[in-house]
Amino acid sequence: MSNISSFNQFFALAGATYQVFEIGRKIQPLPVSIFDHIEQGLRPYPAPVQGHGQIAISYTHNEQQFVWFLKLPLDENGLVIAGPKVDFLRHVGGHLGQDLSKNLTPEQQQALSSHAINFQPPQDKQAMFNAKLRLEQGLAPSSQYPFVVEYFKGEHPSDSWQQMGLQGLADFALRANEHKALIINQLTTLDAEVMINLLHLLENVDIDDEIGQALFTLLTQADNSAQKQHWLRGLAGNLLYSQQAVDHCLAQTEALDLNILLIIAARHHMALMHPTSLNLYLEHMAKHDKDVFNQLFADLVSLAGLRNGLLSKINDDNNSDAVKAAFTNMIKDLTSS
């Protein structure tokens, strides 16, 4: 496998089938045909995170299923940098050859897991990935799922939430639209930890407008920024209420909490394609120190849908004095580094 340069070649040679998921900003399937173009540098990675494309690859070989979580380094145009990926494939090939289901020694396992592009996503992301993968493959949800449904129906004591497995809650969140009446009725009475976990899982689900409206109402009623953060994350999966939630947050005159700005950039960036929302977001960025402004700008400009709009703002005469000063400082930092 020394001449292998792509995952498509690698799995074809090994006789394995595979699926790819985008797991950075939102966990969702990435069609193999599109991923192949991304690998070849024919199109940019759709949603980079800090200069990387975060993916999960699930492959099946000899009727056994395996998963890799990988961070692919990207260049300034969002294209995959081939070197680290090729090195990983050769590294795997050196240990496994063409038998991808081969049992590895502990030393070989450690060598693969410590490769530079390997990474371990948070537990909630792994749970939602597993839920979506099983759904894609036509498999039943986990054995933890029935308890969660019963809990939301009130068939278990409210303090029994600690028996609830995160995987079961992810399976439930993925089917939120089927259970919307249960979710809407329980939102204000759930134990805080269950509610927070549910909202963080829902950011990866395309929720319908009824759930979106309920979450948006609670966002507008939130007493503090910490509460708003959770409702905001839960709204990421509904375009209509995502836009309304972002506009609601941006309408406040005092500087937005940094965590709110980060959630908008990470989960609600589509809302910033509206010029008015983008202008207000830049104003709030400029209320923070220059490092925050520069980092948020670098994160957003890596997204193809926002790049041109953001670049055009750098020399926009209509910018406020604060935004002009922030851009001036950013350019100085870039030219002096």
pLDDT tens, residue by residue, 257-271: 999 999 999 999 999
pLDDT band at 175 (very low <50, low <70, confident <90, very high): very high
3-state SS of the chain? CCCCCCHHHHHHHHCCEEEEEECCCCCEECCHHHHHHHHCCCCCCCCCECCEEEEEEEEEECCEEEEEEEEEEECCCCCECHHHHHHHHHHHHHHHCCCCCCCCCHHHHHHHHCCCCECCCCHHHHHHHHHHHHHHCCCCCCCCHHHHHHHHCCCCCHHHHHHCCHHHHHHHHHCCCCCHHHHHHHCCCCCHHHHHHHHHHHCCCCCCHHHHHHHHHHHHHCCCHHHHHHHHHHHHHCHHHHHHHHHHHHCCCCCCCHHHHHHHHHHCHHHHHCHHHHHHHHHHHHCCCHHHHHHHHHHHHCCHHHHHHHHHHCCCCCCCHHHHHHHHHHHHHHHHC
pLDDT at 18 over 90: yes
Name the band, by pLDDT with cuts 50, 70 and 90, for residue 114: confident
pLDDT in tens, 125-165: 999 999 999 999 999 999 999 999 999 999 998 889 889 99
Domain boundaries, the chain: 7-121, 206-336
Residue 101 has pLDDT above 60, yes or no: no
Lowest mean pLDDT across 102-106, 273-277, 285-289, 318-322 = 102-106
pLDDT at res. 92: 82
Higher pLDDT, 103 or 190: 190
